[in-house]
Structure 1
Amino acid sequence: MHDAAFAADPHHVYDRLRAHGPAGPVELAPGVDATLVVGHEMALRVLQNSTLFARDSRRWKALNEGRIALDSPVLPMMAYRPNCLFTDGAVHLRLRKAVTDSLARLNITRVRRDVEPIADYLIDRFSERGRADLLNDYAKLLPLLLFNKIFGCPADIGDTLTSAMSAMFDGQDALRASEDINTCLMELVALKRRRPGDDVTSWLIQHPAGLTDEELRDQLIILMGAGVEPERNLICNALLLLLSPGAGGGDSGLLIEEAIDHVLWNQTPIANYATHYPLQDVDLGGVVAEADTPVVISFAAANSDPALADARRTHSRGAHLAWGAGPHACPAKDPAQVIAVTAIEKILNALPDLTLAVHEKELQWRPGPFHRALVALPVAFSPTPATRTAAALQSRGAPTGAEQPRPTATAAATRQEPARKKGFWSTFLDVFRV
């Protein structure tokens, strides 16, 4: 599940496994074996059975016995952290409540309001060129910047967090990136304890659960990790469908919301994850998963299970597993969909003649066992003036004269002078600081 062949056609693997039962053996990375659940009913059984399956990866027998390399590319996604993704029972309930209560304070209007200026800023960076890579220039950066806003990050912490999270997801020195993330989030927690604000970090600190600094750091990591990678893939995969309906079998009249639902069914942004560890040997429809070995849920394969043919035909939102199920189901699906819809609306309205710059068959999918992610989404369009940021500032009553740096000029200057280079977040703050 880690090579280019799997990335190009993962359903070939899912179908081959499904021919023998609802689960089967796979290799997630070199030397990392697991059982992949590909049947919808079996996936629900595992996701909903917390008495037979644990999420705590400290149970992972092969890792404990030293049979997993410490530089394995899947460890950042599978190694234990004391957050609500890798815990069970009372500990999980306590941590999850702190997260869900804090996310509940993010109303939909605020989320949309925060996405819009970030989208304007990013579009202005490339709108005069007449070409762009909508993954790396837009869909990848938008959720990273948005989470800096939601977490209340100052410029320096936000720059580090943006670059480190990007590097970790792209497999670039993942261990160093993980260390940088840990360090800057501990700095953020210390800052927000001294000076709380109207942000998720402060709300988590103030929650009655009384999270420690380390617990706060690890909840923030899971919030960003579970938000950034799926969000960018959801935005990008939906844009691909809208720009090239044949890629998903849809029709050119798809609404944005319909395209997103289609992607959640057919190009599931996080395709395989939710690793469980059986507390005893378990028969998964003919394949025995040994105690304390990884059992990975294939949301993508479960969604394509022939048993769901009727639900797939109507794209019933209640049937697909893109958001998971059971006690660890995604707690932020409504904000996630609003972010995607807003981001897609902004780019399509700003660049109405947007088209793919290559044939859809030339697009490449990024290798990796967990995601369904494009390497790039090159597009072409009629060049337009980079005036959206200025218009957004004017609508907010902010100054728009020479004292406000122009995004495209700032970006060009920082690329030419690496010694004085600012990150995306600090540059964004320079533009929108009122």
Structure 2
Amino acid sequence: MSSDAFAAGCPAHGGRTPLYGPDFAARPQRVYEALRRYGPVAPVELAPGVPASLVISYSAALDVLRDPVTFPKDARRWQQGVPPDCPVLPFMMYRPACNLSDGAAHVRLRTAIADSLSRVDSTILRESVERNVEALIRGFSEKGTVDLRAEYALLLPILVFNEILGCPSDIGTRIVVGMRGFVENVDTANSNQIMMKAVAELVALKRARPDQDLTSWLIAHPAQLTDEELIEQIALLVGLATEPEQNLIANALLLLLSDDRFAGDLSGGSLPVEDAIDEVLWADPPLANWAVSYPTQDVDLRGVRLPADQPVVIGFAAANTDPAAASTNRAGNRAHLAWGAGPHKCPSQGEARMIASVAIEKVLDALPDMELAVPASRLEWRPGFAQRALVSLPVRFSPIHIPPPPTPGGQEMGLAGGLATALRNAAPRRSNALVRWWRGD
């Protein structure tokens, strides 16, 4: 069934538009535009039999994000009516995590995260990004071709964040493997187990041998987080630091390599990287639909009745492109909602932009004749209602030799290579049932 038919309200889905399947993954903006016929909020389906309301108006999204009392994050009342095999349940269920808590609990957990993140030295962080970027580029610069998503954008945030967490590579790999399946709604129960077991091992390791790293600082924080709370906050941080970050890098690189507004500047020697990042955060944000809340009673939002205990999802991509709030100049305009708003707004957006900027600038500088290996229209997008994420980003370029740095650096590249292999081999298997509902069958 076409995305137009879905957006019109498919009878097979209770008149709701499914936010899954290849049609939605390939052309989400087409679906969002069709949904505007409903007004500021549209009826959608997150998975078969999982109804939700998608907020697609910019001003209505701000109303929800800034009102945590009316729109709380606690999912426990909702999940009581959801079958245990629901594919999005592990992704949306209540956990004692900062982004899923309200009131005093939220303040306590967010304070522990914010205080610990503030101890990360920005100079050391940038050095880590640059060192890992250079090692990754050296690893593929002589090949002439590379999948920038799998061999660059995916690996960089993992390598950097493993250093920040003080996380051994074997544990870090398992955390990310689980997180990836979790976000993509692929074998979510097993992916959740893989991720949480690995994070628990990290917490146990750092309780026994604390160091100068983010995990140890969270453990030592005056909030005295329990092991369960520590595991949940670290899983949250890993998810936000890896999945959205790799999507931001890959989506901005795609824009720079395929859009005439930017590609012409690249050939002239100018790298409008910050402009491309702003454009992506407006039109193709890495988290396209998220910030889920669960009203405990029926609520009127801009003339739309939202039923109690049903998910209300913020459509960041749709709200950012709302015609009523459209901006004619996005370069340097940071009024988008990609980082959220209100009390749950992302606390580390500056660091996220820095990582993406360094990654993009350095690979374009090192490989100046890089171009897409296939037309942009043939690229595929990964499933899942929450993300805007490429399957791959194949490029070609003139092979060059980049000598290693004067100091020994082979260990970094060995870690990256091993991580790439582990992620390929350990990718969660898609069940036939999941494949069917992705396809909209």
TM-score (norm 1): 0.86
Partner Cα separation in structure 1 for residue 365 and residue 214 of structure 2: 30
Partner of 1:359: 375
Number of paired residues? 403
The reply to whether residue 376 of structure 1 matches residue 392 of structure 2 is yes
2:125 is matched with 111
Residue aligning to 1:260: 277
Aligned to 2:58: 40
The 1:107–1:399 alpha-carbon spacing in structure 2 relative to 1, beyond 3 Å, is closer
Q: Does 1:231 pair with 2:245?
A: yes
Distance 1:156 1:409, change over 3 A: closer
Q: Which amino acid aligns with 1:292?
A: D
CA contact (8 A) 2:316 2:337 kept: yes
CA distance in 2: counterparts of 1:315 and 1:410, whole angstroms: 33
State the shift of 1:158 in Å. Answer: 2.5
Measured in 1, the distance between the counterparts of 2:344 and 2:69 equals 14
Find the counterpart in structure 2 of residue 3 from structure 1: 21
* Pair 359,155 (structure 1): closer, same or farther in 2 beyond 3 Å: closer
> Which of 196-205 and 320-329 deviates more?
196-205
The 1-side partners of 2:116 and 2:414 are apart by 35
Q: Secondary structure at the match of 1:364?
A: coil
- Structure 2 counterpart SS, 1:145: helix
CA gap 1:4/1:399 in 2 versus in 1, 3 angstroms: closer
Match of 2:299 among 272, 275, 282: 282
Per the TM alignment, residue 422 of structure 1 is displaced from its structure 2 partner at its CA by 11
For 1:348, give the aligned amino acid: L
Change in CA separation of 1:296 and 1:250 when aligned onto 2, cut-off 3 Å: farther
- Separation in 2, partners of 1:205, 1:410: 28
Q: How does 1:14-413 map to 2 (within 5 A)?
A: 14-60=32-78, 63-65=79-81, 68-246=82-260, 252=266, 255-309=272-326, 311-315=327-331, 317-385=333-401, 387=403, 390-391=404-405, 394=406, 398-399=407-408, 404=410, 407=413, 411=417
Q: CA RMSD in A?
A: 2.5
Q: Confirm or deny: 8 A CA contact 1:125 1:408 kept in the other structure.
A: no
| Offset at residue 333 of structure 1 (A) | 0.3
Query: Does the Cα contact within 8 Å between 2:108 and 2:223 map onto a contact in 1?
Result: yes
CA contact (8 A) 2:135 2:412 kept: no
Secondary structure in structure 2 of the residue aligned to 1:85: helix
**Distance change (3 Å), C-alpha of 1:219 and 1:254:** same
**How big is the shift at 1:314?**
4.6
- Going from structure 1 to structure 2, the CA distance change for 1:247 and 1:86 (only over 3 Å counts) comes to farther
Flag the 1:59–1:312 CA change in 2: closer, same or farther, 3 A.
Answer: farther
- Structure 1 residue 407 displacement after superposition: 4.0
Does the C-alpha gap of structure 1 residues 14 and 166 become closer, same or farther in structure 2, counting only changes over 3 Å?
A: closer
**Counterpart Cα distance in 1 of 2:412 and 2:118:** 35
Distance 1:270 1:136, change over 3 A: same
Assess if the C-alpha contact under 8 Å between 1:139 and 1:236 holds in 2.
Answer: yes
Using the TM superposition, give the Cα deviation of residue 123 of structure 1 relative to its aligned residue in structure 2, in angstroms.
2.0
Q: Does the Cα contact within 8 Å between 1:196 and 1:202 map onto a contact in 2? A: yes
Q: Deviations over 1:302-357 (max 9, x none)?
A: 10011223x34254634210000011011110110011011112211221211111
Aligned partners of 2:88 and 2:188 also within 8 Å: no
Gaps of 5+ in 1: 424-434
Deviates more, 1:119-128 or 1:160-169: 160-169
Quickly say closer, same or farther: Cα 1:266–1:148, change in 2 above 3 A.
same
Retained in 2: the 8 A contact 1:355–1:379? Answer: yes
Structure 1 residue 406, shift from structure 2 partner: 9.1
Name the SS of the counterpart of 2:42 in structure 1. strand
Counterpart of 2:301 in structure 1: which amino acid?
L
| Preserved contact between residue 131 and residue 379 of structure 1 (Cα < 8 Å) | yes
CA distance in 2, matches of 1:247, 1:165: 34
Q: Distance in 1 between matches of 2:209 and 2:45?
A: 46
Further displaced range: 169-178 or 219-228: 169-178
Partner secondary structure for residue 337 of structure 1: helix
SS at match of 1:367: coil
How far the C-alpha of 1:15 sits from its partner, in A, is 1.7
Q: Is the 8 A contact 1:48 1:327 kept in 2?
A: yes
CA distance in 2, matches of 1:406, 1:220: 23
> By how many angstroms is 1:40 displaced?
0.6
The whole-number CA distance in structure 2 between the counterparts of 1:58 and 1:409 is 40
Q: Which moved more, 1:349-358 or 1:165-174?
A: 165-174
**Cα 1:221–1:286 shift into 2, 3 Å:** same
CA spacing shift, 1:318–1:383, aligned 2, 3 Å: closer
TM-score w.r.t. length of structure 2 = 0.85
* Equivalence for 1:431: none
How many Å separate the matches in 2 of 1:31 and 1:185? 31
For the residue of structure 1 that corresponds to 2:38, the secondary structure is coil
What percentage of aligned pairs have identical amino acids? 50
